[in-house]
Amino acid sequence: MSGYIFIEHYTLIEAFYMTIITIATVGFGEVHPLSDAGRLFTAFLIMSSFGIFAYSISLITRYIVDGEFQHFFKSYRMNNTIEKIENHVIICGYGRNGRQAAHILKQHDQRFVVVEQNHELVASITHRFSHLLVEGDATDDEVLQKAGITRAKALITTLPTDADNLFIVLSARSLNANLTIISRASDDNSDKKLKTAGANNVIMPDKVGGAHMASLVLKPDVVEFIDFITEQGENNINLEEFTFTDLREELRNKTIADIDVRSKSGANIIGFKTDSGQFVVNPSPDTKISPNAKLFVLGTNEQIKKLKGILS
């Protein structure tokens, strides 16, 4: 526009008008006859306008072809979904332990959010809840907030370094006092430190694996039977827990004999957890179901489903 003002001595309005019709190539007449210098400037303006237009088109095309457009909407969908969910599980780390935890949760239709900073691992996540993931460092409070830590019901941290797991446990407990926290640990000395930091349970995969293998030598059939019962989603047997709040109002504070689980559903009550945290195997029929107590029931999937309909 300034070129028309300095070369052709157009007014501001005339220069603006000439610039617009030249760039738009609409073909209207010139405001005033152009000099040779004005024609050269107009030609330059047309060519540069086409160059800018072509460059803009190439940028937009590359943005779409390279997947950044799709990535933008995926990120928007992820953020929008995570902001709405609650009572979910957060899995920090998507290594072998993290993937196994996600596999079990997925089989039970439990929604979860994965937090992983390795971009290659993030790209490999293809499960049904793959849009519920946060790429970032789980030791960062902002990343945990983004994963919905204040609305979550549980957190599983499976990072290979005990110090990182300890830091996550401390952060998670400070952000959500009611959160159930399960942490992985490698060193024997880390167990107490993680529990002191706020972990409800600490799992040591190497220790658990070694004990399991030794048990298979000493009591192979017993261990295989327990594995068969607890093998989530692989058979028709289910071990389920029912809390006091899971029961209908009229069934609370009743005895095991009163609710008569066996005859009504075919399932069996094999364990009981008292309100003080003690476990009882094969509880007696006169055991009272009090607040904070839990029932552990064994049965087929159909029996458990039927029992849920009766008790809930």
Residue 213 falls within a domain, yes or no? no
Q: What is the mean pLDDT of residues 246-268?
A: 88
Q: How confident is the model at residue 42 (pLDDT cuts 50, 70, 90)?
A: low
pLDDT greater than 90 at residue 17: no
Do both 151 and 195 map to the same domain? yes
Sheet with 237-243, strands from edge to edge, namely: 237-243, 294-300, 268-273, 279-281
Q: How many structural domains comprise the chain?
A: 3
What pLDDT was estimated at residue 252? 87
Do both 60 and 75 map to the same domain? no
**Positive or negative: CA dihedral 105, 106, 108, 114:** positive
Q: Which structure tokens are listed for 125?
A: 């996540």
Q: Which amino acid is at 67?
A: G
Do both 24 and 78 map to the same domain? no
Residue 198 falls within a domain, yes or no? yes
Q: Pick from 115, 114, 175, 179: which is nearest to 153 by CA?
A: 179
Terminal CA-to-CA distance of the chain, rounded, Å?
A: 76
Strand partners, 243: 294
Strand partners, 192: none
Residue 108 falls within a domain, yes or no? yes
Do both 53 and 8 map to the same domain? yes
Mean pLDDT score of the chain: 82
What pLDDT was estimated at residue 151? 93
Q: What is the mean pLDDT of residues 186-197?
A: 90
Do both 125 and 177 map to the same domain? yes
Q: Pick from 279, 262, 263: which is nearest to 271 by CA?
A: 279
Long-range contacts, 203-208 (Cβ 8 Å, 24+): 205/97
Do both 75 and 60 map to the same domain? no
Domain edge (last residue) among 153, 180, 203:
203
Residue 220 falls within a domain, yes or no? no
Whether the Cβ atoms of residue 74 and residue 131 lie closer than 8 Å to each other:
yes
What pLDDT was estimated at residue 309? 87
Do both 89 and 173 map to the same domain? yes
What pLDDT was estimated at residue 170? 95
CATH code of the domain covering residue 180: 3.40.50.720
Do both 168 and 276 map to the same domain? no
CATH code of the domain covering residue 282: 3.30.70.1450
pLDDT greater than 70 at residue 304: yes
What pLDDT was estimated at residue 201? 93
Q: pTM for this one? A: 0.65
pLDDT greater than 80 at residue 176: yes
Q: What is the mean pLDDT of residues 267-296?
A: 89
Residue 216 falls within a domain, yes or no? no
What pLDDT was estimated at residue 3? 67
Residue 105 falls within a domain, yes or no? yes
Do both 54 and 83 map to the same domain? no
Of 182 and 213, the structure prediction assigns the larger pLDDT to 182
Q: What is the mean pLDDT of residues 232-258?
A: 81
Among the ranges given (130-139, 199-208, 254-263, 277-286), the one the predictor scored with the smallest mean pLDDT: 130-139
Domain interval for residue 243: 236-311
Q: How confident is the model at residue 27 (pLDDT cuts 50, 70, 90)?
A: low
Domain edge (last residue) among 65, 85, 110:
65
Residue 218 falls within a domain, yes or no? no
Q: What is the mean pLDDT of residues 156-179?
A: 94
Residue 288 falls within a domain, yes or no? yes
Of 295 and 122, the structure prediction assigns the larger pLDDT to 295
Q: Max alpha carbon distance in the chain (Å)? A: 108
Among the ranges given (19-28, 81-90, 202-211), the one the predictor scored with the smallest mean pLDDT: 19-28
Q: pLDDT tens digits, residue range 47-104?
A: 777 677 677 777 766 655 555 555 555 566 666 777 788 899 999 999 889 988 988 8
Q: pLDDT tens digits, residue range 111-163?
A: 899 999 988 877 777 656 666 888 899 999 999 999 999 999 999 999 999 99
Strand partners, 295: 242, 272
Of 10 and 301, the structure prediction assigns the larger pLDDT to 301
CATH code of the domain covering residue 29: 1.10.287.70
pLDDT greater than 60 at residue 14: yes
What pLDDT was estimated at residue 29? 65
pLDDT greater than 60 at residue 268: yes
Residue 261 CB neighbour total at 10 angstroms: 20
Q: How confident is the model at residue 174 (pLDDT cuts 50, 70, 90)?
A: very high
pLDDT greater than 70 at residue 271: yes
